[in-house]
Amino acid sequence: MGTGRHPDYVLAVDPCRGDPCGRPHTGDPGGRPYTGNPGGRPPVRASASGKVILLGEHAVVYGRPAIAVPLSGLRATAILTPHPGPFRVQAPAVGIDAPLPDLPPDHPLARIVQLTVERLRQPPPDALLRIESDIPVASGLGSGAAVSTAIARALAAWYGVPLDPPTVSALVYEVERIYHGTPSGIDNTVIAHEQPVYFVRGRPPEPLPVGGVLHLLVADSGVPSQTREVVGDVRRRWEAEPARYEALFDRVAAEVEAARRAIAQGDARALGERMDANHEILREMGVSALVLDRLVEAARRAGALGAKLSGAGRGGNVVALVDPPAADRVEAALRTAGAARVWRTDVFQQPQRHEDTK
Ligand code: MEV
C-alpha cells in the first residue's frame, strides 16, 4: 500500500501524524529555526485532518446512520504568530489577507475565530492567523470543517486552554451551518475526533470497531461539488416525493448497518458489496454524475472490492475499497478514467484515547 513515495499518496498509519492530535506544536511554520519576535512567544500551530464518508451521506441529514473516517494525511493547518493588533487573518488559497474587523461577521473564518474566543472567554489575540491546507476545496473531503477545527485548536493552544473534541466539534458545527445550510454534523464530528465514526444526527458519535485494515483509494474527480446546493436539491426532491425519498434513506440505513457489521468482522468483501449498493441508491437519489459513475466503474473493473461516490456528489470524490495487490491497478484505472488526484489511506482499529474513555 501507500508508502509515501508518490506525492499524491497519503498513508494514515498514525492519525496524529505530524500533529499531536490537536495539541499544537510551537516553532516556525516552515520548520526553520524561529528567529522572529525576539524575546516574545513563538508561533503556535495546530492542524486537522480531512475526511471521507464511507457510507450514508445525504440519508444522514434525515436521521439515518452514516460511517466516516478521517483522512489523516491530508491536513489544514492554522499558524498563530505574535503580531500587533488587531487580529489579522491570512488565507492565501482563498485570497484573504485582512484584519478580523474587516471580514463580514458571518464569514466562516471570522465566525470560527469569534465563536472560539467567546468559548475561551478571551479577546482575539494580538496575532496573525495564517491558514495553509492540502485539502482541496469543494471536493467532499471536509476542507471547511478542517480549517475551522485547526483554527479552534490553535486559539485554544494560544491561551493554554484545552478544548476537548466534542467542544471543538460543536463550535465547528456552527460554522458548517454557514457552508452547508442543514448539515448533519458528521463532517465536524469525524474531523474533531479524528477517528472512524458511526454517526447518527443529534447523538454522540460512536467509535467504529474495525476488525481488519481497510485499504481505501480516494479519487478527486476534479469537478467541484457544492454541498449546500446538492443538499438543498435533495431536500426539494424529498419534499416533492417524501415516501420515495424516505424509502431510499431507509435502504441506505440498511446498507450502513450491514457495512458496520462487515467492518467489525474485518470482512472487506462484504463491505465492498455494501459500498456498491450504496452508490446505486445515491444514483437513484439523483446525486451522482457521469464523471463519478465513470470513476466508480473503472475502479470496479480494475478489481476494487467496492466503490462509490463520497460526500454530497455531483462532483467531488469517489472512494474505492481494495485488496493491497489490486491497489496499483485500481489507482491507474482511476487516473485513466479522469481522476485529478488519487490518495491512499488505511483504516484500522484506533487505540482508545483518554477523551474516549470519559
Ligand atoms: C457532506 O459531507 C455529507 C452530506 O451528507 C451532508 C451532511 O451530512 O451534512 C451530503
Query: 147-160, pLDDT tens digit by residue?
Result: 999 999 999 999 99
Detail the DSSP E strand segments found in 197-282.
197-199, 206-207, 214-220
Q: Say which CATH architecture domain 214-351 belongs to.
A: 2-Layer Sandwich (3.30)
Check whether the bond before 86 is cis (ω within 30° of 0): yes
pLDDT at position 181: 78
Active-site pick, 187, 220, 276, 346: 187
Backbone phi and psi for residue 134, each to the nearest 5 degrees, phi listed first: -100, 5
Kindly state if the Cβ of 60 falls inside 6 Å of ligand 1: yes
Query: 188-227, pLDDT tens digit by residue?
Result: 999 999 999 999 999 999 889 999 999 999 999 999 999 9
pLDDT at position 2: 31
191 closest CA partner among 315, 47, 346, 56: 47
Distance between CA 116 and CA 127 in Å, rounded? Answer: 15
Detail the DSSP E strand segments found in the chain.
25-26, 44-55, 66-82, 88-91, 96-99, 127-133, 197-199, 206-207, 214-220, 306-310, 317-322, 341-347
CB-based burial, 144-161: b 16+ in 10 Å, e otherwise:
bbbbbbbbbbbbbbbeee
pLDDT at position 351: 60
231 closest CA partner among 176, 194, 190: 176
Known catalytic residue at 187: yes
Kindly state if the Cβ of 314 falls inside 6 Å of ligand 1: no
Kindly state if the Cβ of 184 falls inside 6 Å of ligand 1: yes
Helices 242-265 and 227-240 pack at an angle, to 10 degrees, of 120
Distance between CA 295 and CA 297 in Å, rounded? Answer: 5
Identical topology for domains 43-208 and 214-351: no
Indicate the top mutation candidate among 52, 141, 180 to test ligand 1's pocket, ranked by most ligand atoms within 8 A of CB. Answer: 180
pLDDT at position 77: 98
67 closest CA partner among 321, 324, 330, 335: 321
pLDDT at position 284: 98
56 alpha carbon – ligand 1 mean position (Å): 9
Distance between CA 314 and CA 290 in Å, rounded? Answer: 8
Indicate the top mutation candidate among 55, 61, 285 to test ligand 1's pocket, ranked by most ligand atoms within 8 A of CB. Answer: 61
Question: Which residues in the chain come in under a pLDDT of 50?
Answer: 1-36, 352-358
* CA-313 nearest atom, ligand 1: 10
Is the C-alpha dihedral spanning 349, 61, 137, 290 positive or negative?
Answer: positive
Residue with CA at minimum distance from ligand 1 atom 1: 311
120 alpha carbon – ligand 1 mean position (Å): 28
Kindly state if the Cβ of 231 falls inside 6 Å of ligand 1: yes
225 alpha carbon – ligand 1 mean position (Å): 11
CATH value of 43-208 in 3.30.230.10, 3.40.190.290, 1.10.3720.10, 1.10.132.20? 3.30.230.10
Domain ranges within the chain, ordered by starting residue: 43-208, 214-351
